[in-house]
Amino acid sequence: MNYWLLKSDVADYPITQLKKDKKTLWTGVRNYQARNYMTRDMKVGDLALFYHSGEYPGVVGVAKITKKAEPDPTQFLKSDSRFDPKATKEKPIWFSVEVGFVKELKNLVSLDVMRKTKGLETMLVLKRGNRLSITPVTEKEFSLVMGI
DNA sequence: GCCAACGTTGGC
DNA sequence: GCCAACGTTGGC
């Protein structure tokens, strides 16, 4: 089983929305590395730290992968901001996994606190200039964050 | 609002 | 294939 960190802009899709939806298709990823994590490495049952970017950046909850990657429908929609003219139904470029709500943390584990926590120095999301919206997390890092 | 980081695009 | 220009992300 693998662990992940899923970044979501709090203004676009906060954890409270996932809580309401119970599950959602993780659409809109337009980065090849992040896509490859979804198509190659994510398995049903994997757990993910749900991270808010934007105001009060940090981990706010836990989600799980509930369905393996399928073509991201937004790439085909002309009206969608994530429309990709190069993608076709026969040859989709972008994929989405389904993500289920697990829990919302009582307290935000802020980016600031994560930076100061011994053992989390290796977390990719803390690396300078990191913009990947999906990053792998070790079991150790996952449980350390959960223990804060 | 600023700006560093960095992925992508396109001219050559 | 190189690399400058450009657009986006995201912390501050």
Q: Measuring from the CA of residue A110 to each C1', which nucleotide is nearest? A: C11
SS3 percent helix, strand, coil of chain A, rounded to 5, is: 25, 35, 40
Q: Which residue is nearest to nucleotide C9 (CA to C1')?
A: A131
Q: How many CB atoms lie within 10 A of CB A87?
A: 16
Task: Give the model's pLDDT for residue A69.
Answer: 95
Task: Give the model's pLDDT for residue A80.
Answer: 87
Q: Which two tokens stand for residue A104?
A: 């919302």
Amino acid letter, residue A138: T
Average pLDDT over residues A117-133: 91
- For A71-115, how does the pLDDT look when each residue is reduced to its tens digit (9 = 90+)? 999 999 888 888 898 888 888 999 999 999 999 999 999 999 999
Q: What is the separation of C-alpha A61 from the centre of its chain, rounded to a whole number of angstroms?
A: 11
Nucleotides of C under 7 A from a protein CB: 8-12
Q: pLDDT class for A60, splitting at 50, 70, 90?
A: very high
